[in-house]
Amino acid sequence: MLKPGATIGILGGGQLGRMLSVAASRLGLKCHIYEPGAGAPAGQVAERIFTAPYGDTGCLRAFAEGVDVITYEFENIPTAALDLLESLRPIRPGRHALAISQDRILEKSFLNEIGLTTAPWAEVTDAASLEAAIASIGAPSILKTTRLGYDGKGQARIMTPEDAPAALAAMGGATAVLEGFVDFSAEISVIAARGLDGAVACYDPGENVHRAGILHTTTVPAKIPPSLRSDAVLIAARILNALNYVGVLGVELFVTPGGLLVNEIAPRVHNSGHWTQAGCAVDQFEQHIRAIAGWPLGDGSRYADVEMLNLIGADVARVPEFARAKNTQIHLYGKAEAKPGRKMGHVNRVL
Amino acid sequence: MLKPGATIGILGGGQLGRMLSVAASRLGLKCHIYEPGAGAPAGQVAERIFTAPYGDTGCLRAFAEGVDVITYEFENIPTAALDLLESLRPIRPGRHALAISQDRILEKSFLNEIGLTTAPWAEVTDAASLEAAIASIGAPSILKTTRLGYDGKGQARIMTPEDAPAALAAMGGATAVLEGFVDFSAEISVIAARGLDGAVACYDPGENVHRAGILHTTTVPAKIPPSLRSDAVLIAARILNALNYVGVLGVELFVTPGGLLVNEIAPRVHNSGHWTQAGCAVDQFEQHIRAIAGWPLGDGSRYADVEMLNLIGADVARVPEFARAKNTQIHLYGKAEAKPGRKMGHVNRVL
């Protein structure tokens, strides 16, 4: 159990790092941020920020040597940087979870191997393998790069086999995966945590609505029967245990007539878990810090119904309205400019 | 209404500044801290910290010029520093409230002038005025320095007139005030806020228990009848309006057979308001930031019963126990060393 006064290193200085740093402060822990980009939101509430590219081994080393444990707020950290950091300090969650979540094919293979259902999928490296994949999975389906994709980027829909060449071109030569469309009635998320001692805790599943490929709202409780609620929690626990995971993990699930399908996992705090700031004694950010710092997991029981609404781009102009609203918590990320599609903040409304 | 990206300057880098800075971050506002002492808790979660004495006019000027508005986490800021800062940026709450709260005689005179009841009191400057004061107020009573007293420091009890010389000596030649002992059944606090637009909002009164002159617990709701609850809120509102106040103010009140007496006021967020972190959509720290930043006051309705327990000195060793407890939020202040009487953190337990 890291003592108050210890320091946590966070790779990535965006809003997740920002809210992790604030949560760590409640436990008397300091945070150092490593972020290549200038003006990082997390730097405004951290003891120290290292602004340098991931290839700067001197800066990486100085960062690692100043902290007790390293975590991250996003998956796509260069492997060489991780190799160096791991030689100096523990990285939690560990490399295995990170490697799996960085690669859609590894991720789907892992999920299927531990007995979980995903959408039908096939690896695509060229026109021939795409043709074979469409023949097996059918259309409509969706082609995605295996790496570096998020919030709808690096994806192309295939409505008919004639869309195949354009979709393949959109992958830019990268290995891709073709996924069958899933007939789902809802998307839900489970935010789950596993401690250094192997204890597991799950937040109540939330129901997600996306707009233009970006999360729009998460509402708890999700409108699903108790049996699916249990299934969702068991799926999350199976993933955490199979990965010998330490920290918070987000699991996105599709609700289908045949039960739950795993859409994807994120080895970090997750946008669909922001509601926990308004509905639980210990939110997902503090839960993650507790886990990686070797503290006992906290009480994540939900004591309120909550709707989390993302403020994307120009939505941030609605802040004066939310500032006057009842039962409403505002969380802004300290980003200078409201670009289209950029996550500027969120509001949690207790229902 | 300060726009996200604006910067708030906070005089004082202790736990109140620390929690103010975290609250400001939720509104997209940055904080700069000014604190003479090294290793300030607030510096761990602020964009910038100026470590310099209040006599360093160059550093004060640089601090002021980098922020949009200035506030403070404690009352005893040197007047010359305030004069300089006020010439550069608005200070909220204003100088009038600060001057009153820095001096027990000014404070009690102000309270009496606006029709509020205090304990009987008299100014004491020498043996003769102390003798006269004891003759009028009686013993037991308590002699307090008029300035720089907090958490039971600078105080001496007078149980019989024979205690007078020792009590006077304990004042070290400073002007003092003799206060009559009050027969009270409870001490309660009202945490109240007034916006830049004059709007007033009060949190539900909490009931305080002290140990060794330091706040031990605050519990909401206070066990008082509805009529006293209304009286408490009206008293706070009268003080805020009389001071043309902007920000959060703490009012300590004694519950007596004859009604409420005002014990003291603090022109800042207050230890007895820490429970708002667990029981309200907008806590006292964010409420203060909203007020001084010209935002609308937030919704401070209480939606849970809460007990706030201070962790003083060695109490911090109980953190592993609290970390395992249900419905319990831990707030540690990032202080390096647990000295006796030092406020190390607090826990909010939802009842």
Starting at the edge strand found earlier in the chain, the sheet holding B155-158 runs B121-124, B176-180, B141-145, B155-158
Q: Which residues contact B233 (CB under 8 A, 6 or more apart)?
A: B190, B192, B202, B205
Question: Which H or E run contains B95?
Answer: helix B95-101
Instruction: Report pLDDT for B150.
Output: 52
pLDDT at B152: 55
Rg (CA), chain A: 20
Confidence of residue B151 (pLDDT cuts 50, 70, 90): low
Architecture of domain B186-350: 2-Layer Sandwich (3.30)
pLDDT band at residue B149 under the 50/70/90 scheme: low
Taking CB atoms and an 8 Å cutoff, what residues of chain A touch B328? 281, 299
Architecture of domain A7-91: 3-Layer(aba) Sandwich (3.40)
Residues B7-13: what's their mean pLDDT? Answer: 98
Whether B332 sits inside 8 A of A304 (CB atoms) is no
Question: What is the amino acid identity at position A227?
Answer: S
What is the C-alpha separation between A346 and A229, in angstroms, rounded?
25
Question: Nearest chain A Cα to B348, which residue?
Answer: A281
DSSP labels for B114-155? TT-----EEEESSHHHHHHHHHHH-SSEEEEESSS--TTTTE
Instruction: Provide the pLDDT for residue B10.
Output: 98
Test A281 with B27 for CB contact under 8 angstroms. no
Round to whole Å and give the CA distance between B100 and B238: 15
Q: Which residue of A has its CA nearest to B300?
A: A327
Residues on chain A touching B42 (C-beta within 8 angstroms) = none
* Segments of chain A with pLDDT less than 50: none
Q: With beta carbons under 8 A apart, name residues in chain A contacting B323.
A: 1, 290, 295-296, 298
* B chain contacts of residue A43, beta-carbon cutoff 8 Å: 47
Chosen for mutation from B22, B44, B319 (greatest number of chain A CBs closer than 10 Å) is B44
Tell me how close the Cα of B129 comes to any Cα of chain A, in angstroms. Answer: 48
Name the residue in chain A with its Cα closest to that of B282: A329
Nearest-angstrom CA–CA distance, B66 and A242: 51
Q: Please identify which residue in the block is written with the tokens 């810090």.
A: A289
Burial environment of residue B42 by CB neighbours within 10 A (0 to 12, 13 to 18, 19 or more): buried
Nearest by CB to residue A25, choosing from B1, B18, B328, is B18
Q: What is the pLDDT of residue B153?
A: 63
Q: Tell me, which fold does domain A120-180 have in CATH?
A: Dna Ligase; domain 1 (3.30.1490)
Q: Which of A26, A315, A322, A346 to mutate to test the interface with B (most CBs of B within 10 A)?
A: A26
Residue list, annotated binding site of A for ATP:
104, 144, 149-155, 179-182, 187, 210, 263-264
Q: List pLDDT tens digits, range B294-317.
A: 999 999 899 889 999 999 999 999
- Residues B12 and B20: their CA atoms lie apart, in Å, by 11
Cis amide prior to B296 (ω within 30 degrees): no
Residue A266, phi then psi, degrees to nearest 5: -130, 120
Of B282, B304, B334, the CB nearest to A4: B334
Give the whole-angstrom CA distance, residue B164 versus residue B126.
Answer: 10
Q: Quick count: other Cβ atoms within 10 Å of Cβ B76?
A: 14
Show binding-site residues of B for ATP: 104, 144, 149-155, 179-182, 187, 210, 263-264
Structure ipTM over 0.90, yes or no: yes
pLDDT of residue B172: 87
The three-state secondary structure class of B330 is strand
Tell if the CB–CB gap between A299 and B326 is shorter than 8 Å.
yes
Please answer whether residues A98 and A77 qualify as being in contact, where contact means their C-beta atoms are separated by less than 8 angstroms. yes
Tell me the CA distances in angstroms from A333 to A40, A275, A343, B93, one per residue in order: 9, 15, 8, 26
Residue B216 is predicted with a pLDDT of 97
Average the pLDDT over B128-145 and give the result: 94
Q: Per-domain residue ranges for chain B?
A: 7-91, 120-180, 186-350
The A48-50 sheet, strands edge to edge: A48-50, A30-34, A7-11, A69-72
* % of chain B with per-residue pLDDT over 90: 90
Q: What is the pLDDT of residue A296?
A: 97
**Inter-chain residue contact B1 with A281, CB threshold 8 Å:** no
